[in-house]
Every structure is written in structure tokens, then in C-alpha cells.
Structure 1
Amino acid sequence: MGLLTIISDVMLENEESEEEEKHYSISSLKRRDKKCFTCRHCGKDFIHKESLEIHMRIHTGEKPFTCDQCGKSFAIKSSFKYHMMIHTGEKPFTCDQCGKSFTQKSHFNDHMRIHTGEKPFTCDQCGKMFFRASDLKRHMLVHTQEKPHSCSLCGKSFSHLQNLQVHQKMHTGEKAFVCFECGKPFITASTLKEHQRIHTGEKPYKCSHCEKRFSQLGYLKTHERIHTGEKPYKCSHCDKRFSQSGSLKTHERIHTGEKPYKCSHCDKRFSHSQNLKTHKRIHTGEKPYKCSHCDKRLIQSQHLKTHERIHTGEKPYKCSHCDKRFIQSQHLKTHESSHTGEKPYKCSHCDKRFSQSGSLKTHERIHTGEKPYHCTACGKSFSQSSSLHRHTKNNHSK
């Protein structure tokens, strides 16, 4: 029966016009291959002539299906059908776990794996598992190191064309996706979608180990490493490992000495953008964190948290050698050194050692002559903040 089909196809092919032969070529009888129709542009084979005709639209650019609502055109009828659901709002596939709805069954199936934890696609190089085949395909480029798409403006290379297109918008400044709640613009639709969850409060990603939920899949993955203990990112300079790539990047700057973030008010530089942001508040005087018990305002959220323990009496840090408790972890660390006698901080100018980094920093000013604390009334400088405070109280207080 297969042979008769092939012979029949050959007879039909001979009857095709010369123009059509430019696009289609049939495999020989000797191949006895089911894929009979071959694209003359890229060599891809197809079982059905109709499939080749649809494929040819990639090369010709033909998009015969046009939306009468917005004018967008499509090469494939099914893509056009799914697009129309955007206008109609139709989402026929609904998750019975969280109520989220989808226009396509494939997207629904992908989503359900978040709840079931199923990861059917496994990397044969490292064993890492993925929810979707597309995620595995993208991951494989990590092993091949292949980055065929390069930016013409800065030379940066990317493994995916889509990533290059997003990157190029950074150069053009194009932010076509705008939040209707607050007006904030975004480069991609996906980042806008993630941002909008701030307004809606939606947290579709639930931890499989506890009840915690997250607005982004990346946050969930990072959180779950607390439960699993997984630290996939290893420092190339030492044996330290991290659960987040960003933490590794920041850590490696300790080895390289890189401080890419410079203060616009002074020459101080930082290895972490958040440290720069916090430092700038010294210049601007901004104190965004207000105590709920008094009127005191703080520069950092952690400082607020620590300060509020004065009001609540909370002392979460307990000494492992005695029953003494502390408000701050640093105070505990300093106290425990009195039990152990440990002095890990050594002066780079002499042999003196200290149990606290702050004490070392203050001591080294004796060698450097640095006096960073200035009196605003008379201009006198001091190496310690306590000395400045004492001077102001004795000489300038009314």
C-alpha cells in the first residue's frame, strides 16, 4: 500500500505545473521515505503537501489570515484563531487548582506542571529537569556556549534572537509596554505582566515545601533552594557556593576588587548597587523608614528592624556559651569573641588584632591620619564619631 501511495504521488507530481516544481521536489522511489515534499529554500522535508505550503510562508512572508479588529496578520490559521481570543477574552482552559485560565491547551498543560511539580524534560549533560521542552532547549546552549546573535551596537552576543531583540531596546530606549495602573513603561510584555502583580497582588507560584507564594517563578525557584539546600553557583576563585547567580556575581567582586557603582556626590565606589543606593542617602538626607513606635526615621530597612527591637524588647540572638541575648547579630558575634578570645581582624600597618571590624577601622585611622567626622560649627575634624559628639557637646551646645 505504501508503494502504491508513493507511485500515485509521483504521477500527481508529474502533472504539476512547471511553476509549482520550483517550490516542491519529491523524493525518489529508492528512498521510500515518508517525507516526500522538500522545501527548495532550506531543504526541510514534509509528509503532506499542505504542510510544505504553510512552511513556505516563512520564506515568502505571506500572512493570509488578518484580524479585522487590529489588522494583525498571521501565516497559520490556528495562530489567528488564538489571537482572536485576545479580543473576545475567551480562555477555554481553566486550572482547577488556582483558577487561572488559558487560551491554548499547551499553555494550560505547561501551567499544570507548576502544581504537580512534573518536569518531563531532562538535560542529558547535567541531569537538570525542566517543565517545558523550550526551557530545555534554551538550557542546552549553556553547555554548547553557542551565542550566534550579536548586537551591532555593543558587540554583546546572545544565544537567542529574542534576547538580542530585547537587549537592543536598551540602546534605543524603546519601552512599548505601559502599566495602565501607574504608567510605568517596560521593554517587554513579560516584565509588564510581572510588574502588574504588584497592583493585583497575584502570587500564582506556590512553594511545594511550605505555604509561601510568589509573584514570579524565579522567586519561587530561589526560595525552594532554602528547603533543598541547593547552591548551583560556585565561585571560580574559592569553593564558596550560592543559591543565586546575583549573589555569586557580587561575591566574586571580593576577589576581583571590582566596584562598578560610583557615587555621584563623592568618589566612593561600591561592589553592590544596593550599597550605593543606601550610601547616597547620607548625601540626600533621605530616611524612608519610619519607626511605628516613635518618630525616628532610618536610612535602611534593617536599621529600622533593629531599632524597633528597643521598643518591643525582642532579643533574637542568644549566646551559645551563656544565656545572654542580643538585639543585633553583630553584638552577639562581638560578645562570643569574649568567650573564645578570637580576634580575626588584624591591622594592615602593625600586628595589633581586634575582635570587631569597626574597632580595626577606627584603629587604622591612627596610621592613615584619616579624620572623616567634621564639625559643622567650626570645621574641626575627628577620627571617631564619639569624639565629634563630645566636642560638639562641650564647645557648641547652648
Structure 2
Amino acid sequence: MAVHNGTRTRILVIGGVDVEQEPNHRFFHVVDFLAAHYDEVVFVSTANLYGGPPIGFAQKMLKSFMNVLTDRRKEYRQQNVHHIIVRKLKLPMFLQNLAGDLWIYTVLPGWLKKERFETCIYSFPQTAFVTGLLRRRGVAKKLVYDDCDYFPAHLDAAGKLSAAALTWKERRAATQADGVISVSTPLAALRREQGVKNVIVIPNGVVLDNLTGARQKEPHPPTLLYIGMLSEAWGVDLMLDALPLVREAIPDVHFVIVGDGDYREALEEKARALGLENSVSFCGRKPHSELISYIRQADVGVALYKQREFIHYASPMKVREYMAAGLPVLTTRIGQAEEVIEESNAGELVERTPEAIAAAAIKLLKDDDLRAQYAENAVRYTENADWNSVLEPVLDFINTV
């Protein structure tokens, strides 16, 4: 561990993620875990340049400009975590991916650049430069990269220049580190191919205490549930395409969608076009603490991932959260999601056709005994999936790299 002021332990953590926008992101669980084992965590995160309620373009530009001048950085302490939040500049995606974190380094408080930490843990490839600079300055003796995703395949990599910048930046983030904590076995294999020698696999966990209460069911109609971001890759449209077939067999079936995103309008239009207004509920984004009530009134968790490169490398937090809550899972054959369901026997794996999805959904909704068995298997499989248990090997890894 990092030693400072005698026996007092401290660690520096840098993540390119917004605390307010993504409170359930893996990296915040990493910070909470470290806070339980270190005397102090200094946590640098980012926020959008504006980040307020919808306003006119001119007002937004003026407010963003004022934020750059007067509110570019915020600091506060929460128990033993010292938060430093830096507003990101609104740059073209290519420049943001290539060098946006040079701005972060510029805005960091002067006192931090004079500190000394044994270890800096960082996440997101867009933090590769700032962490490299801090090591060269002597602020961090060694770097550990939390390899939480395969970023070049995400929307941030749209366009050839942006993709090239992010691919190069991610590789630099991994290869400059003394150790890499990869979220999945395929991602760890990729890092080893890139020349990283010290790699450990730490999958995503769950907040088990928050989910065990969801296992007590409340009266409800036959219900399929999706919780998460509404983007094209997550396959919510596949469930909508299959729902008319499900409704033929189970007329009172209901599909509850909890979440938001840029694909929501298209999904709502599809539901209307298919005549599903009375069978589908779009509930919007909800705080993590409110999800229990939705899970208690559901029978099956839906995670119909499409064939996308980043999903191949991902660790399926959504699937594990469904399972920890005692929900059987309906998912597709890709990456770690397929592996988890095969290992646990906690749900159905399907092809991406309306007929296959509908057949599996009907099977799950009509067979109470099968659902009960899958739920039991799911709970058993995730009994050690709490973040504190999953992240425990990180402490030894930090000390030995």
C-alpha cells in the first residue's frame, strides 16, 4: 500500500467518469473498496463542461464559458475520500480522445502535483497522459490500470481519426502501467498480446445487499424486465420484435423497460408501430435504490446483447445483477454473458430471431418450476459476487506489481 506520514496509507485514483451521471459505474465501486482499506483515497473524476438542465444554445455556451473561467474544478471530502472533480473541455472527439486529459493535468490543484503516492490506479484510456505525467513528476511511483472496457469499439471511436486516436490511447494506457486489472478473460488476453506482463482478471460485481431484497415477489402479471441504457447494441428492440409472438401465447404479458438513452425514441416508435402500447412500459432512468420494486414485480431479466466487438470483451454486470436478485435471465450467445449462463444454468441462451426469443420467453413465463430452479441457481452462483469479495485480490495485486 501507499505509505505517507509514517504508517498512514494513501492511494491516488484517477477515472474519466462522471460521478453524478454514472453512480453505479465499476470504478466508483473500486473507489469505495479502496476507501475501506486505505486511510485516504484521493479521487480525481470528471464532469461535463455544462452538465445542467436543458437550456438554449446561447445560454449553454455562456454557462460553459463561465464554468471554464470560474468553476473548472471542485474539491470536497466525503469521509476519507478527497474528491477532485475536473470539468472536461468540449473538444472534437478526435482531440478529446487524443489529448483531452492534458487539460485535466493543467486543472489539477498545485498541492496534488507536489504529493507522493506509492500507487495510482486509473481507468479509461483518456487518462493515459495525465497519469503518465504524474509518474514522471514523481507524484505516483507505480501505475495500475483498471481495464474496465474495450473502448475503441464504443461510440466515442466513431470516425477513423477518432477510432485511431482512442485505439492508440487505450494501448498506451495499458502498456505504460506496471499492472493491469482486466474486467474479462478476453480483454486480459488482448492486453497480453499487446505486451502487458502483469495482468489479473477481476470481473464486475454487484451490490449484493441492495439486490437480495428484490427476491421477495409482489403480485404482478407475467413480466419481462430490462434495466439499463437504451442504446442499439443492448437489443431491447429484439425483445419488442418478439413480443407480439409472446402475446399470442400469453395475452397479459408485460415488458417493463427501466432506463434511458439515445435509442429510447426509436424504441417507443417501434412499440407503437407493433401495437404494443398496452404491453410495454417505458419507465425512464431510476436511481439504483429504486430498482428493487421493479425486480419484485418481474419474472425474467432480459439482456439480448447484439454482436458487437466491445460486448465480446465486456463483463456482464446487468446479467449478474439480475441473477443476484433471483431473476432468471434471457440472453444471447456472446462473450462472458454466454459463459456465465452456461456455468450457472440460470437462464436461457437464444439466437437473435423473434421466433427463438419468443419461444424462450414463453417457456420461462409459463413454467413456474423452471423459473424457480433457474432463480435458485442464479442466487447460488452470485452469492460471492459482491463487490467487496470480487475486488479482494486487487489489494495483493497492487502490492506485488
TM-score (norm. length: structure 1): 0.23
**Bigger RCO (CA 8 Å, 6+ sep):** 2
Judging by fraction of residues, say which structure has more helix.
2
Q: Which has the larger radius of gyration?
A: 1
Judging by fraction of residues, say which structure has more strand.
2
